[in-house]
């Protein structure tokens, strides 16, 4: 049980933790006392999307277990080199949805701002890992083009800060951005898509809570955890602090082979999330990004897993199983998709 007082202790400076993230796969294995030869596939020491893991996250991995579900999410292995038909660089059509540099406007009433390309952790299955951020995040030119776009479209009620991970930006920059968003009268909600409260909970410090607590916008933070072992006491404390600042907390997870592809693992995740005050929101089918085919879970198996969840949890702890289809007006419930398991058959 975390007391109010414990939840208030100022954690170590998050920028230092961010900078000290583990980048050498061999170092991570040494820390975990895992021998490279016991891995399911050869280790990649020079991956094009380099490894990056905060120590706070690595600390939750099991020692001596080459199959640890957290380790699997971050460790580059030879399977990433496999070329599989249907696995492409931009599987969800983000490039085509860019309204102005750094703004994706795919869905009615909501616009997504690519606030930065940086993340605290590099998830091997990430569909944005090959997105050419360098030229297209909104921070360039101090958000001018992005803000102009949002100001000019009164149908947009909600702005989603995404990336990359928007909370890797400093608080001065974020406060300035949120101030500018507040000045747009038709905006009512601010949503932040971030993995930091989970992978680097020290990020949820008083400075962040300062600007977030003050805004007139309604606040939603969508975190990203895929396995119950990701939720430790520090994550719970960070979630409590966000809630105390008036934030509604949701989680999105990705269904990943070898990480969370069974009903028991996802039940445990939902329970752990709710104990931290977080509701499960989406469970995404893997986006078929090049290099991630070893995480794929067939659609039929995914539906079976979610039926299992429904049979053992209250409805509000069952996430919506969805997939993103280029050109679709919303994320698509997997139940409504046409039959094939083959990704290439789903593309419109
Ligand atoms: C996923 C996504 C959203 C948010 O969709 P919700 O169903 O509202 O969670 C908004 N814009 C883009 C471009 C997205 O990919
Ligand atoms: S934190 Fe999110 S955006 Fe960053 S690598 Fe992981 S899944 Fe991708």
Q: Is 306 in the pocket of ligand 1 (CB under 6 A)?
A: no
Domains and CATH numbers, the chain: 4-81 (no CATH), 99-344 (3.20.20.70)
Short-list 23, 33, 37, 110, CA closest to 74: 23
Ligand 2 centroid–CA 288 distance in Å is 15
User: How many CB atoms lie under 10 A from the CB of residue 45?
Assistant: 12
Ligand 1 centroid–CA 182 distance in Å is 20
Q: What is the pLDDT of residue 137?
A: 67
* CA–CA dist 97, 331 (Å, integer): 14
Site to probe by mutation for ligand 2, drawn from 21, 119, 292, 295 as the one with most ligand atoms within 8 Å of Cβ, is 119
Cβ-contact 239, 278 below 8 angstroms: yes
Report the length, in residues, of the chain: 348
* CA–CA dist 106, 89 (Å, integer): 19
Ligand 2 centroid–CA 118 distance in Å is 9
Ligand 2 centroid–CA 126 distance in Å is 6
Short-list 73, 80, 70, 78, CA closest to 40: 78
- Enter the tokens of residue 199: 């992978």
Q: What is the pLDDT of residue 343?
A: 47
- Enter the tokens of residue 39: 């891995």
Torsion of Cα atoms, 259 then 61 then 272 then 206, to 10°: -120
End-to-end CA distance of the chain: 49
Cβ-contact 113, 146 below 8 angstroms: yes
* CA–CA dist 215, 179 (Å, integer): 8
Site to probe by mutation for ligand 1, drawn from 104, 128, 160, 188 as the one with most ligand atoms within 8 Å of Cβ, is 160
pLDDT tens track, the chain, 348 positions: 445 544 444 445 999 999 999 999 999 999 999 999 999 999 999 888 999 999 999 999 999 999 999 999 999 999 999 999 999 988 877 777 888 989 999 999 999 999 999 999 999 999 877 665 555 566 656 689 999 999 999 999 999 999 999 999 999 999 999 999 999 999 999 999 999 999 999 999 999 999 999 999 999 999 999 999 999 999 999 999 999 999 999 999 999 999 999 999 999 999 999 999 999 999 999 999 999 999 999 999 999 999 999 999 999 999 999 998 888 999 999 999 876 554 443 433
Q: Is 192 in the pocket of ligand 1 (CB under 6 A)?
A: no
Q: What is the pLDDT of residue 132?
A: 56
Q: What is the pLDDT of residue 103?
A: 94
Q: What is the pLDDT of residue 135?
A: 54
Report the nearest-CA residue for atom 6 of ligand 2.
Answer: 123
Residues 6 or more apart whose CB falls under 8 angstroms from that of 233 comprise 2
Q: What is the pLDDT of residue 118?
A: 94
List C-alpha distances in Å: 209 to 191, 241, 336.
Answer: 14, 8, 39
Site to probe by mutation for ligand 1, drawn from 99, 100, 112, 224 as the one with most ligand atoms within 8 Å of Cβ, is 112
């Amino acid at each position: 049980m975390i007391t109010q007082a414990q939840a208030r202790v100022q954690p170590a400076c998050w920028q230092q933790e961010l900078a000290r993230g583990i980048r050498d796969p061999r170092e991570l294995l040494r820390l975990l006392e895992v021998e490279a030869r016991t891995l399911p596939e050869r280790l990649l020491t020079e991956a094009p999307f380099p490894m990056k893991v905060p120590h706070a996250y690595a600390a939750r991995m099991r020692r001596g277990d080459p199959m640890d579900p957290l380790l699997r999410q971050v460790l580059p292995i030879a399977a990433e080199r496999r070329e599989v038909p249907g696995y492409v660089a931009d599987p969800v059509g983000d490039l085509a949805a860019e309204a102005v540099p750094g703004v994706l406007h795919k869905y009615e009433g909501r616009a997504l701002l690519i606030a930065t390309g940086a993340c605290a952790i590099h998830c091997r299955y990430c569909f944005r890992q090959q997105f050419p951020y360098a030229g297209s995040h909104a921070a360039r030119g101090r958000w001018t083009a992005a803000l102009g776009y949002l100001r000019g479209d009164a149908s947009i009620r909600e702005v989603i800060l995404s990336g990359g991970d928007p909370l890797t930006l400093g608080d001065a920059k974020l406060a300035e951005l949120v101030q500018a968003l507040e000045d747009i009268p038709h905006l009512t909600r601010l949503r932040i898509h971030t993995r930091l409260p989970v992978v680097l909970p020290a990020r949820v410090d008083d400075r962040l809570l300062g600007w977030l607590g003050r805004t007139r916008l309604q606040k939603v933070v969508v975190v990203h955890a895929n396995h119950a072992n990701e939720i430790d006491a520090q994550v719970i404390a960070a979630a409590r602090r966000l809630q105390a600042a008036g934030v509604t907390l949701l989680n999105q997870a990705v269904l990943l082979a070898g990480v969370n592809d069974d009903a028991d693992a996802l039940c445990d995740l939902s329970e752990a999330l709710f104990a931290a005050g977080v509701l499960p929101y989406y469970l995404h089918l893997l986006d078929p990004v090049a290099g991630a085919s070893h995480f794929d879970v067939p659609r039929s198996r995914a539906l079976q897993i979610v039926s299992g969840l429904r049979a053992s949890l209250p409805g509000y702890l069952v996430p919506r199983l969805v997939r993103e289809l280029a050109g679709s007006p919303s994320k698509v419930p997997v139940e409504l998709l046409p039959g094939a398991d083959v990704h290439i058959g789903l593309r419109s």
